[in-house]
Amino acid sequence: MGCITGKYFKMSANMPPKTKEVDDKGKIRIFQLAMLSAVVLLLAVCIIILAVFLSRDKMEICDNGYTVLPRDFENPSVFDGLTPTEYEAVKVYMFTKTNLSLVPTSKGTPRNAYIFMIDLLLPPKDKVIEHLDHGMIQPERKALVVVIRGDLSTGVVEEYEVSPLRCPTYHRKVNPHPIPFNFRPMDDPEYGRLFGIIKKATETLYPLLTESYGLAYHNCTPGENCMQFYDVAPRGINDNERNTWFWGFRAVEGLYLHPLGLEIQIDHAHRTFSDWNILQIVYNGQMRASPELLLEDYKKGNIKKLKIPTPTSEQNLYSTYKRRGKSEMNVPLQGPKLIEPDGHRYKIDGLHVTYMHWEFNINTKASTGVQLFDIKFQKERIAYELSFQEACVFYSGYGPAQGITNYYDVSWFIGAYINELVAGVDCPDTATFLDVDFFLKSENPLRIKKGICVFEEHAGVPLRRHYASDFHGSYYYYGGLGDYRLVVRSIANVWNYDYIFDYIFHLNGAIEVQVYSTGYVQSAFPLDDELQYGSKMASFMTANIHQHLFHYKVDLDINGRSNMYSTLDISTEKIKSPWYSDFNKTQFKFELNKKSTEEEANYKTANEARYDIFYNDQVENEFKHKRAYRILNHGKTPYLLSKSSETNAARWAKFPLAVSKYKDNEISSTSIYANNGPRNPVVDFEKFISDNESLENKDLVAWVTLGVLHIPHTEDIPSTTTAGSQVRFFVLPFNYFPECPSMSSPNAVHITPKGANDINLNTFGTSYNSNCIQKQNGPASYDGRVYDAN
């Protein structure tokens, strides 16, 4: 409707003056017209909204894209983990065809023999390469079986090779030296007995617990007044002990931040349960030999008492993940989400992944988690294996539990503690989720649903770009390519900490390996002497300085297995300028330094200026450069505990990068026995390199150490955030390709100006339009439980 003009109000000279009645009628008329305009406008808006809604309703769900095929359990590849049928076959064979007198795991005691773990045992690398590259028959699949031999007069742990997996007929012991019985990892039957001892102790201490904390362990109501106990490691101050400290926490969400100052040490080294006993108990920093003596002194007033009030829901909130604080938005709005307009641009066939020029195989171990094998780019093998090896957390502290704590997380089976991933939070809704199977401390194989996710993302930055300015207000051209990349992710929870493990594949032939730390800090009761090691973050809680360390194996095969390792050592020089008679310049220079032996190759400082390159000495590019790959470590950390015997099982941490000659028996830099035998480790990494073998034209393995020192602070409440806690390293091409291989990507954009207000846009055949909506699963699809894999 048009505007109301002045003609409607122009008064004729012959008309009588306006009366009040006429004036009122005019106002009514204006009001009616205004209302009509508003109704018309509202109707138009409704029509637009309805049209948008109806058009959205007609939009299709985005296509699935390339195929994703499930595992073929009948025909596993050489790298695939064991199938449920294979697990069962191995278990039945061990029970029926050996003379080990095995009992079910649930009935295992320190006097019995029982299966602790079954895992894939890879064939020798020579056999695998013959199969992959020369069409030879797939090597026989084998299993590694860990057996607890409590039935022997001197208990030991034994490891067996069992094959063939379809119908096992053969087994042999493979551990070269006896594994001490005290080094065995913990299992449910042992924990059950230990918590029984704690239950009996807390029954004695019931008056103390209710008065000091308003809590109980044996007689409580879950969610109201219960406490829980958790153990730390190592289990004693020498490798002959199995003396474990348990400490108490208030059983609420985020219990890790509610220590109670009550710690119990139990000796459980003996083979007979009746010989297990409490060695000491500490309450508010005061030690007694038994619960009875502690209670006696408590009642007599001979001990400094605690009175920790039961937190109200508000006070307790600091440890929960429930939202609190003033919101940034009056109405919650969804954040940005990924969309795949044409569906997945990667293929998955079981556990074999293909993405652009990349392809690789995924395997998962209960001990170490996700491993990648036979990684190729443009059909050329770059790495035979890229795998996580170990995560350690070394703590400082005063209290008996905090003061002894050093964790080797592979001994806690970080791979089996991979947990289900939440769509829309842990991984994008567009991700493909894969299940994880394992056989550990159980009588049947177990399955974690959606334990691994695979997804493509745009990193939010260009992989490369340039704006060529003409320096007169315009430009000659713009060229760019988004950093599209494929991510393989798993997240493992080991008690308080959650670790996010990423393998990332870029379009330029680079591999990025990244670890994030999140979850809760480990807290301690704030005794006066404890505060020198940490920060008080709540009334009855402090969190202490610690170091996270991560270790990776990178078995590079650059143009074959005959490789060299060299460094390009960067230094400075001061030279007299050839162009100016009175000018001297200080500048960089570099020189090639070939590493002939393992001793020459391994350095212990984190601040040397160098490039670390791996190459085949017989293969050059057109400019006579060696076609090489480079390892770039962005996660170097000073290792300050190298002289402590408690960290002997982490001697790899001395080396930001170590290089060794490949050996089939040097499978991993650590073992599942490290945490209970750290001083004389079953696998001593330094022995991999102490024999000082030649590295010239050999099959080489690189070992990369990442780490971060963490001094907890109040922003770690309720938990540590991933921002700033990540460490990473890269495997990068270095003169390997004639140019950046991402030049083949059709996702590039090239723009040149066209006249005053137009452009020539070239997207190389890729559409930037989308007329579909992404299917969203979101957190509502979460389950979170572990299932029987059969």
Active site residues: 409, 497
Token pair listed for 437: 């199977």
Residue with tokens 């989400």: 337
Which residues are within 8 A (CB) of 190 and not within 5 positions of it... i.e. 6 or more apart?
110, 268
Q: Which of 530, 544, 551 is nearest to 395 (CA)?
A: 544
- Which string of DSSP letters, residue by residue, matches 508-521? TS-EEEEEEEEEPP
**What value, to the nearest 5°, has the Cα angle with vertex 569 and ends 567 and 575?**
150
Q: Mutual orientation of helices 188-204 and 206-213 as an angle, nearest 10°?
A: 80
Strand pairing of 60-61 and 772-773? parallel
Name the DSSP class of 274. Answer: G
Helix (H, G, I), strand (E, B) or coil at 86: helix
Token pair listed for 354: 């293909």
Measured in degrees and rounded to the nearest 5, phi and psi for residue 488 equal -110, 115
Give dist(CA 428, CA 413) in Å, integer.
Answer: 26
Measured in degrees and rounded to the nearest 5, phi and psi for residue 641 equal -110, 25
Q: How far is CA 768 from CA 340, 461, 464, 746, 762, in A?
A: 11, 17, 19, 12, 11
Q: Considering only the C-alpha atoms of the chain, give the largest distance between any 2 of them, rounded to a whole number of Å.
A: 129
Which residues are within 8 A (CB) of 392 and not within 5 positions of it... i.e. 6 or more apart?
406, 407, 408, 409, 547, 548, 549, 550, 647, 650, 653
Token pair listed for 72: 């073929």
Q: How far is CA 228 from CA 253, 277, 539, in A?
A: 12, 19, 20
Which residues are within 8 A (CB) of 255 and not within 5 positions of it... i.e. 6 or more apart?
228, 249, 319
Q: How far is CA 699 from CA 6, 311, 657, 691, in A?
A: 94, 60, 16, 16
